[in-house]
A and B are shown apart, each in its own frame.
Chain A
Amino acid sequence: MNNIVNEALQITKELGDVIFIGALATYMHTKNTRDSRDIDFVVENQIPDDELISKNYHKSMTGKQPWFTPRGFKIDIYTRGIPGVSLDKIVENSKKFTIKNKGEIRVLGLESLIIAKHKAARDQDIEDLKNIAMHRLSQVDWDVVQEITNDEFTTKQIKTDMEFLSKN
Protein backbone atom coordinates (compact mmCIF):
# COMPACT_ATOMS: atom_id res chain seq x y z
CA MET A 1 0.00 0.00 0.00
CA ASN A 2 3.01 2.31 0.49
CA ASN A 3 3.28 3.09 -3.21
CA ILE A 4 -0.40 4.09 -3.30
CA VAL A 5 0.13 6.42 -0.33
CA ASN A 6 3.17 7.97 -2.03
CA GLU A 7 1.15 8.39 -5.20
CA ALA A 8 -1.61 10.10 -3.18
CA LEU A 9 1.01 12.56 -1.90
CA GLN A 10 2.11 13.30 -5.47
CA ILE A 11 -1.50 13.79 -6.60
CA THR A 12 -2.09 16.19 -3.70
CA LYS A 13 0.99 18.18 -4.68
CA GLU A 14 -0.09 18.32 -8.32
CA LEU A 15 -3.87 18.79 -8.04
CA GLY A 16 -4.29 20.44 -4.64
CA ASP A 17 -6.40 19.50 -1.69
CA VAL A 18 -8.30 16.47 -3.04
CA ILE A 19 -10.08 14.03 -0.69
CA PHE A 20 -9.15 10.38 -1.11
CA ILE A 21 -11.90 7.79 -0.72
CA GLY A 22 -12.12 4.02 -1.32
CA ALA A 23 -9.38 1.57 -0.37
CA LEU A 24 -6.87 4.33 0.38
CA ALA A 25 -9.23 5.89 2.93
CA THR A 26 -9.81 2.48 4.53
CA TYR A 27 -6.06 1.92 4.69
CA MET A 28 -5.33 5.32 6.27
CA HIS A 29 -7.90 4.68 9.00
CA THR A 30 -6.97 1.04 9.69
CA LYS A 31 -3.47 0.48 8.21
CA ASN A 32 -4.87 -2.84 7.07
CA THR A 33 -6.51 -3.49 3.71
CA ARG A 34 -6.08 -4.81 0.18
CA ASP A 35 -6.28 -2.60 -2.90
CA SER A 36 -6.73 -3.00 -6.62
CA ARG A 37 -4.16 -0.30 -7.39
CA ASP A 38 -6.62 2.36 -8.48
CA ILE A 39 -7.06 5.62 -6.59
CA ASP A 40 -10.42 7.33 -6.09
CA PHE A 41 -10.80 10.90 -4.90
CA VAL A 42 -13.32 13.68 -4.55
CA VAL A 43 -12.72 17.27 -5.65
CA GLU A 44 -14.81 20.25 -4.62
CA ASN A 45 -14.44 21.89 -8.02
CA GLN A 46 -14.13 19.99 -11.26
CA ILE A 47 -10.58 19.93 -12.66
CA PRO A 48 -10.67 20.82 -16.38
CA ASP A 49 -9.21 18.23 -18.78
CA ASP A 50 -6.71 20.86 -20.03
CA GLU A 51 -5.32 21.27 -16.54
CA LEU A 52 -4.93 17.52 -16.06
CA ILE A 53 -3.22 17.18 -19.44
CA SER A 54 -0.89 20.12 -18.68
CA LYS A 55 0.19 18.21 -15.55
CA ASN A 56 0.95 15.10 -17.62
CA TYR A 57 -2.18 13.20 -16.58
CA HIS A 58 -3.58 11.16 -19.47
CA LYS A 59 -6.69 9.31 -20.53
CA SER A 60 -6.80 5.64 -21.45
CA MET A 61 -8.11 4.72 -24.87
CA THR A 62 -9.70 1.51 -23.54
CA GLY A 63 -12.52 0.64 -21.13
CA LYS A 64 -14.40 3.61 -19.69
CA GLN A 65 -11.51 5.94 -20.56
CA PRO A 66 -10.37 6.62 -17.03
CA TRP A 67 -7.57 9.02 -16.23
CA PHE A 68 -4.05 8.01 -15.31
CA THR A 69 -1.49 9.90 -13.29
CA PRO A 70 1.90 10.71 -14.88
CA ARG A 71 3.22 7.63 -13.09
CA GLY A 72 0.56 5.32 -14.54
CA PHE A 73 -1.88 4.93 -11.62
CA LYS A 74 -5.54 4.72 -12.62
CA ILE A 75 -7.64 7.41 -10.95
CA ASP A 76 -11.38 8.04 -10.64
CA ILE A 77 -12.28 11.66 -9.93
CA TYR A 78 -15.63 12.34 -8.22
CA THR A 79 -17.18 15.78 -8.32
CA ARG A 80 -20.33 14.88 -6.41
CA GLY A 81 -21.22 13.17 -3.17
CA ILE A 82 -20.85 9.43 -2.70
CA PRO A 83 -23.63 7.01 -1.65
CA GLY A 84 -25.01 8.18 1.70
CA VAL A 85 -22.74 11.24 2.05
CA SER A 86 -23.22 14.62 0.38
CA LEU A 87 -20.26 16.56 -1.04
CA ASP A 88 -20.60 19.17 1.74
CA LYS A 89 -20.37 16.49 4.44
CA ILE A 90 -17.42 14.79 2.71
CA VAL A 91 -15.52 18.08 2.83
CA GLU A 92 -16.65 19.06 6.33
CA ASN A 93 -15.71 15.71 7.89
CA SER A 94 -12.54 14.92 5.93
CA LYS A 95 -9.36 14.21 7.86
CA LYS A 96 -5.73 15.09 7.15
CA PHE A 97 -3.02 12.46 7.64
CA THR A 98 0.67 13.32 7.86
CA ILE A 99 2.90 10.99 5.90
CA LYS A 100 6.32 10.73 7.61
CA ASN A 101 8.28 13.89 6.68
CA LYS A 102 6.75 13.88 3.22
CA GLY A 103 3.58 15.95 3.55
CA GLU A 104 -0.12 15.51 4.13
CA ILE A 105 -3.01 13.86 2.36
CA ARG A 106 -6.69 14.50 2.96
CA VAL A 107 -8.92 11.49 3.35
CA LEU A 108 -12.63 10.78 3.78
CA GLY A 109 -13.51 11.00 7.49
CA LEU A 110 -14.02 7.78 9.43
CA GLU A 111 -17.75 8.39 9.89
CA SER A 112 -18.33 9.23 6.19
CA LEU A 113 -16.35 6.15 5.19
CA ILE A 114 -18.49 3.91 7.38
CA ILE A 115 -21.73 5.40 6.07
CA ALA A 116 -20.67 5.07 2.42
CA LYS A 117 -19.52 1.47 2.86
CA HIS A 118 -22.64 0.56 4.82
CA LYS A 119 -24.81 2.01 2.08
CA ALA A 120 -22.95 0.17 -0.72
CA ALA A 121 -22.81 -3.10 1.32
CA ARG A 122 -21.04 -5.12 -1.39
CA ASP A 123 -18.90 -8.06 -0.23
CA GLN A 124 -15.76 -5.92 -0.31
CA ASP A 125 -17.50 -3.13 1.64
CA ILE A 126 -18.56 -5.53 4.38
CA GLU A 127 -14.97 -6.79 4.69
CA ASP A 128 -13.76 -3.18 4.94
CA LEU A 129 -16.43 -2.41 7.57
CA LYS A 130 -15.30 -5.42 9.60
CA ASN A 131 -11.74 -4.18 9.33
CA ILE A 132 -12.79 -0.72 10.52
CA ALA A 133 -14.94 -2.19 13.29
CA MET A 134 -12.03 -4.29 14.58
CA HIS A 135 -9.53 -1.42 14.56
CA ARG A 136 -11.45 1.83 15.00
CA LEU A 137 -14.89 1.25 16.51
CA SER A 138 -14.08 3.13 19.72
CA GLN A 139 -13.08 6.21 17.74
CA VAL A 140 -16.35 6.53 15.80
CA ASP A 141 -18.29 9.66 16.73
CA TRP A 142 -21.90 8.52 16.49
CA ASP A 143 -23.16 12.10 16.72
CA VAL A 144 -21.28 12.82 13.49
CA VAL A 145 -22.79 9.69 11.90
CA GLN A 146 -26.24 10.90 12.93
CA GLU A 147 -25.50 14.39 11.59
CA ILE A 148 -24.51 12.96 8.19
CA THR A 149 -27.29 10.40 7.83
CA ASN A 150 -29.87 12.69 9.43
CA ASP A 151 -31.83 9.50 10.12
CA GLU A 152 -31.97 7.83 13.52
CA PHE A 153 -32.99 4.43 12.15
CA THR A 154 -30.05 4.32 9.72
CA THR A 155 -27.60 5.45 12.40
CA LYS A 156 -28.90 2.77 14.77
CA GLN A 157 -28.63 0.09 12.07
CA ILE A 158 -25.04 1.12 11.24
CA LYS A 159 -24.11 1.05 14.92
CA THR A 160 -25.70 -2.39 15.42
CA ASP A 161 -23.89 -3.80 12.37
CA MET A 162 -20.52 -2.30 13.35
CA GLU A 163 -20.76 -3.64 16.90
CA PHE A 164 -21.62 -7.07 15.55
CA LEU A 165 -18.74 -7.01 13.03
CA SER A 166 -16.26 -5.97 15.71
CA LYS A 167 -16.98 -9.16 17.64
CA ASN A 168 -17.01 -11.67 14.79
Chain B
Amino acid sequence: MPTIREIMSTAESGIRFASKLAPKISYSVKDDAVPIAGSISTAYRRLNLLENLGLATVYRSQFQINRAARQPMHILEKLIPSLIALKNARRFGRRYHISDINFVKNNLPDESFITLDYRAWDITKFQTPLDLYVYVTDIEKTAKFLKNNDFSEGTKGHVVLLQKHSDIKNDIEQVYLDCIAKGGRSILDAIAIELKYGEQFDIKGRFNIQDILKVQDDMQTTS
Protein backbone atom coordinates (compact mmCIF):
# COMPACT_ATOMS: atom_id res chain seq x y z
CA MET B 1 0.00 0.00 0.00
CA PRO B 2 1.49 3.41 -0.93
CA THR B 3 2.43 5.78 1.89
CA ILE B 4 0.78 9.19 2.26
CA ARG B 5 4.03 10.77 0.95
CA GLU B 6 3.95 8.59 -2.13
CA ILE B 7 0.28 9.37 -2.73
CA MET B 8 0.99 13.09 -2.42
CA SER B 9 3.97 12.88 -4.72
CA THR B 10 1.89 11.08 -7.38
CA ALA B 11 -0.93 13.58 -7.06
CA GLU B 12 1.25 16.69 -6.98
CA SER B 13 0.73 17.71 -10.62
CA GLY B 14 -3.03 17.30 -10.15
CA ILE B 15 -3.03 19.42 -7.00
CA ARG B 16 -0.97 22.14 -8.70
CA PHE B 17 -3.43 22.07 -11.61
CA ALA B 18 -6.40 22.41 -9.21
CA SER B 19 -4.80 25.36 -7.45
CA LYS B 20 -4.70 27.28 -10.75
CA LEU B 21 -8.43 27.03 -11.39
CA ALA B 22 -10.51 30.07 -10.48
CA PRO B 23 -13.18 29.22 -7.87
CA LYS B 24 -16.34 27.98 -9.62
CA ILE B 25 -19.07 25.47 -8.84
CA SER B 26 -18.50 23.29 -11.91
CA TYR B 27 -15.93 23.50 -14.67
CA SER B 28 -15.80 22.58 -18.33
CA VAL B 29 -12.86 20.36 -19.30
CA LYS B 30 -12.53 22.15 -22.64
CA ASP B 31 -12.95 25.75 -21.46
CA ASP B 32 -11.42 25.65 -17.97
CA ALA B 33 -9.04 22.68 -17.74
CA VAL B 34 -7.38 22.60 -21.17
CA PRO B 35 -6.04 26.20 -21.00
CA ILE B 36 -4.24 25.26 -17.76
CA ALA B 37 -3.21 21.69 -18.56
CA GLY B 38 -2.17 22.42 -22.16
CA SER B 39 -4.08 19.60 -23.83
CA ILE B 40 -7.21 17.56 -23.35
CA SER B 41 -5.29 14.37 -22.55
CA THR B 42 -3.15 16.11 -19.91
CA ALA B 43 -6.31 17.69 -18.46
CA TYR B 44 -7.93 14.28 -18.04
CA ARG B 45 -4.69 12.85 -16.57
CA ARG B 46 -4.62 15.63 -13.95
CA LEU B 47 -8.32 15.14 -13.20
CA ASN B 48 -7.83 11.41 -12.89
CA LEU B 49 -5.14 11.96 -10.23
CA LEU B 50 -7.50 14.24 -8.31
CA GLU B 51 -10.44 11.89 -8.74
CA ASN B 52 -8.44 9.01 -7.22
CA LEU B 53 -8.10 11.07 -4.05
CA GLY B 54 -11.69 12.28 -3.94
CA LEU B 55 -10.54 15.79 -4.85
CA ALA B 56 -12.45 15.95 -8.15
CA THR B 57 -15.66 14.59 -9.60
CA VAL B 58 -15.71 14.23 -13.36
CA TYR B 59 -18.90 13.67 -15.32
CA ARG B 60 -18.86 13.72 -19.09
CA SER B 61 -17.01 16.90 -20.05
CA GLN B 62 -17.57 18.68 -16.75
CA PHE B 63 -15.94 18.43 -13.37
CA GLN B 64 -16.05 19.74 -9.83
CA ILE B 65 -13.12 20.32 -7.48
CA ASN B 66 -13.36 19.49 -3.80
CA ARG B 67 -12.30 22.70 -2.08
CA ALA B 68 -10.13 20.65 0.26
CA ALA B 69 -7.68 20.76 -2.67
CA ARG B 70 -7.11 24.41 -1.77
CA GLN B 71 -5.80 23.59 1.70
CA PRO B 72 -2.03 23.99 2.20
CA MET B 73 -0.02 20.86 1.28
CA HIS B 74 0.83 19.95 4.90
CA ILE B 75 -2.92 19.94 5.74
CA LEU B 76 -3.86 18.13 2.54
CA GLU B 77 -1.43 15.39 3.50
CA LYS B 78 -3.35 14.87 6.75
CA LEU B 79 -6.65 14.85 4.86
CA ILE B 80 -5.74 11.97 2.54
CA PRO B 81 -7.13 9.13 4.73
CA SER B 82 -10.40 11.05 5.24
CA LEU B 83 -10.66 11.89 1.53
CA ILE B 84 -10.17 8.27 0.51
CA ALA B 85 -12.65 7.04 3.12
CA LEU B 86 -15.26 9.54 1.89
CA LYS B 87 -14.60 8.68 -1.75
CA ASN B 88 -15.32 5.00 -1.00
CA ALA B 89 -18.23 5.71 1.35
CA ARG B 90 -21.38 3.59 1.01
CA ARG B 91 -24.78 5.09 1.71
CA PHE B 92 -27.82 3.20 3.01
CA GLY B 93 -31.46 3.94 3.74
CA ARG B 94 -34.53 2.00 4.87
CA ARG B 95 -37.33 4.40 5.74
CA TYR B 96 -35.25 7.52 4.93
CA HIS B 97 -36.17 8.82 8.35
CA ILE B 98 -34.53 9.35 11.75
CA SER B 99 -35.53 5.76 12.58
CA ASP B 100 -32.77 4.56 10.20
CA ILE B 101 -30.21 6.43 12.24
CA ASN B 102 -31.59 5.21 15.56
CA PHE B 103 -31.45 1.63 14.32
CA VAL B 104 -27.79 1.90 13.35
CA LYS B 105 -26.86 3.76 16.54
CA ASN B 106 -28.43 0.92 18.53
CA ASN B 107 -26.58 -1.72 16.52
CA LEU B 108 -23.14 -0.21 16.07
CA PRO B 109 -20.44 -2.76 15.30
CA ASP B 110 -17.50 -3.13 17.70
CA GLU B 111 -14.76 -0.55 17.26
CA SER B 112 -16.93 1.67 15.09
CA PHE B 113 -16.47 5.42 15.26
CA ILE B 114 -19.12 8.07 14.54
CA THR B 115 -17.80 11.12 12.72
CA LEU B 116 -19.00 14.24 10.82
CA ASP B 117 -22.62 15.46 11.36
CA TYR B 118 -23.57 13.53 14.51
CA ARG B 119 -20.19 13.70 16.20
CA ALA B 120 -19.78 17.39 15.36
CA TRP B 121 -23.24 18.05 16.82
CA ASP B 122 -22.34 16.13 19.99
CA ILE B 123 -19.26 18.20 20.63
CA THR B 124 -20.25 21.66 19.34
CA LYS B 125 -24.07 21.85 19.26
CA PHE B 126 -23.55 24.22 16.34
CA GLN B 127 -25.34 22.63 13.38
CA THR B 128 -28.10 20.03 13.56
CA PRO B 129 -27.05 16.65 12.10
CA LEU B 130 -28.51 15.01 9.01
CA ASP B 131 -26.46 11.95 8.03
CA LEU B 132 -24.90 9.33 10.29
CA TYR B 133 -21.32 8.71 9.14
CA VAL B 134 -19.71 5.70 10.80
CA TYR B 135 -16.21 4.31 10.43
CA VAL B 136 -16.33 0.53 10.62
CA THR B 137 -13.52 -2.04 10.54
CA ASP B 138 -15.31 -4.35 8.09
CA ILE B 139 -17.44 -2.34 5.69
CA GLU B 140 -18.65 -5.44 3.76
CA LYS B 141 -19.86 -7.15 6.92
CA THR B 142 -21.71 -4.02 8.11
CA ALA B 143 -23.23 -3.46 4.66
CA LYS B 144 -24.49 -7.05 4.70
CA PHE B 145 -25.95 -6.57 8.17
CA LEU B 146 -27.82 -3.46 6.98
CA LYS B 147 -29.12 -5.19 3.86
CA ASN B 148 -30.30 -8.12 6.00
CA ASN B 149 -32.27 -5.55 7.95
CA ASP B 150 -34.05 -4.16 4.88
CA PHE B 151 -31.68 -1.25 4.17
CA SER B 152 -30.95 -0.49 0.51
CA GLU B 153 -27.76 0.97 -0.83
CA GLY B 154 -28.08 4.12 -2.91
CA THR B 155 -27.52 7.87 -2.98
CA LYS B 156 -30.26 9.22 -0.72
CA GLY B 157 -29.99 7.24 2.52
CA HIS B 158 -28.91 8.88 5.76
CA VAL B 159 -26.53 6.17 6.98
CA VAL B 160 -23.03 6.31 5.54
CA LEU B 161 -20.37 3.67 6.12
CA LEU B 162 -16.69 4.59 5.94
CA GLN B 163 -13.77 2.19 5.98
CA LYS B 164 -11.74 2.66 9.14
CA HIS B 165 -8.13 3.11 8.01
CA SER B 166 -6.14 2.83 11.22
CA ASP B 167 -6.46 3.40 14.93
CA ILE B 168 -7.92 6.79 15.62
CA LYS B 169 -5.54 8.46 18.05
CA ASN B 170 -7.23 11.81 18.58
CA ASP B 171 -11.03 11.64 18.22
CA ILE B 172 -11.62 15.36 17.89
CA GLU B 173 -8.80 15.85 15.40
CA GLN B 174 -10.21 13.00 13.32
CA VAL B 175 -13.68 14.59 13.20
CA TYR B 176 -12.08 17.96 12.38
CA LEU B 177 -10.10 16.49 9.45
CA ASP B 178 -13.13 14.57 8.20
CA CYS B 179 -15.16 17.80 8.21
CA ILE B 180 -12.53 19.65 6.15
CA ALA B 181 -12.22 16.73 3.73
CA LYS B 182 -15.98 16.49 3.22
CA GLY B 183 -16.46 20.25 2.67
CA GLY B 184 -19.93 21.75 2.24
CA ARG B 185 -21.72 22.52 5.52
CA SER B 186 -19.15 20.41 7.36
CA ILE B 187 -16.67 23.28 6.92
CA LEU B 188 -18.78 25.22 9.44
CA ASP B 189 -18.52 22.23 11.80
CA ALA B 190 -14.72 22.22 11.36
CA ILE B 191 -14.57 25.91 12.26
CA ALA B 192 -16.80 25.35 15.30
CA ILE B 193 -14.56 22.45 16.42
CA GLU B 194 -11.43 24.55 16.01
CA LEU B 195 -12.95 27.44 17.95
CA LYS B 196 -14.00 25.15 20.78
CA TYR B 197 -11.25 22.53 20.89
CA GLY B 198 -8.40 24.10 18.87
CA GLU B 199 -5.93 23.65 21.74
CA GLN B 200 -6.39 19.88 21.60
CA PHE B 201 -4.77 19.46 18.16
CA ASP B 202 -1.93 21.08 16.21
CA ILE B 203 -3.30 20.96 12.66
CA LYS B 204 -5.13 24.10 11.59
CA GLY B 205 -7.09 24.25 8.34
CA ARG B 206 -7.44 27.31 6.11
CA PHE B 207 -10.94 28.79 6.09
CA ASN B 208 -12.75 31.76 4.61
CA ILE B 209 -12.67 34.64 7.08
CA GLN B 210 -16.40 35.37 6.58
CA ASP B 211 -17.24 31.79 7.58
CA ILE B 212 -15.04 32.01 10.67
CA LEU B 213 -16.73 35.26 11.72
CA LYS B 214 -20.19 33.79 11.16
CA VAL B 215 -19.49 30.69 13.25
CA GLN B 216 -17.72 32.72 15.93
CA ASP B 217 -20.62 35.14 16.14
CA ASP B 218 -23.27 32.40 16.23
CA MET B 219 -21.38 30.47 18.89
CA GLN B 220 -20.73 33.48 21.12
CA THR B 221 -24.17 34.94 20.91
CA THR B 222 -26.61 34.02 23.61
CA SER B 223 -30.05 35.47 24.12
Q: Report A's interface with B, CB cutoff 8 A.
A: 1, 32-38, 58, 60, 62-64, 66, 68, 72, 74, 118, 121-124, 126-130, 134, 160-161, 164-165, 167-168
Contacts and interface: CB of A to CB of B under 8 A. Distances in A.
Question: Which of B67, B186, B223 is the most central at the interface, judged by chain A CB atoms within 10 Å of its CB?
Answer: B223
Interface in B1-36: 23-26
A118 B211 CA distance: 16
Contacts of B59: 164, 167-168
A34 to B, nearest CB: 5
Contacts of A38: 218
B23 A121 contact: yes
Contacts, number: 83
The B interface, classified by DSSP as helix, strand, loop or mixed, is: loop
B218 A34 contact: no
Contacts of B186: 123
B127 interface: yes
Interface residues of B, number: 32
Contact of A74 (B127, B210, B218): B218
Lowest 6 A-B CB distances belong to which pairs? A127-B184, A68-B223, A63-B221, A164-B26, A161-B25, A123-B187
Contacts of A63: 217, 220-221
Given A36-B188, A123-B67, A124-B187, A74 B223 contact: yes
Interface of B: 23-26, 57, 59, 62, 64, 67, 117, 126-130, 155-156, 183-188, 208, 210-211, 217-218, 220-223
B24 to A, nearest CB: 8
Given A164-B59, A165-B25, A126 B223 contact: no
